[in-house]
Amino acid sequence: MDNESVNLDDIAAKLNELDSVLIEIEAKIENRKEEMKETVHKEVKILRDQIHEAKEHINESSENPDNFWRDLEDGIEHSWQELEAAMKNILSSIK
């Protein structure tokens, strides 16, 4: 992965989009059974923490781009896959 193939603004926009989906999910489960709400709320908290951590990493990386690209290459694909899998898991559990 090279510097030109990754746009930090695009990544930040996608993270914001995922955060919006979490808000929608929370609204959908408001009328669900308490048991399900608790499980989904836990998953949403985990995802929100991961999104927050990714946003912090992007902010820190803009201050030191050399480390960012090295770290990005090592971890962003894995993290992104985990986020997508967790989102799919939540979405399937509230249908």
Does residue 22 have a pLDDT over 50? yes
Instruction: Tell me, yes or no, if the pTM score tops 0.75.
Output: no
Averaged pLDDT for residues 84-89: 81
Structurally, the chain folds into a number of domains equal to: 1
Helix or strand run (H / E) with residue 40: helix 34-63
**Neighbour tally for 10: CB within 10 Å:** 9
Identify the DSSP state of 5. Answer: G
Structure confidence by residue, pLDDT tens digits, 36-79: 777 778 888 888 888 888 888 777 777 776 776 677 666 777 77
Domain that holds residue 66: 3-93
The pLDDT confidence band at residue 4, using thresholds 50, 70 and 90, is low
SS3 state of residue 33? coil
Separation of CA 68 from chain center = 18
Q: Which residue has the tokens 């990493």?
A: 57
The one-letter code for the residue type at 44 is V
Q: Which residues contact 14 (CB under 8 A, 6 or more apart)?
A: none
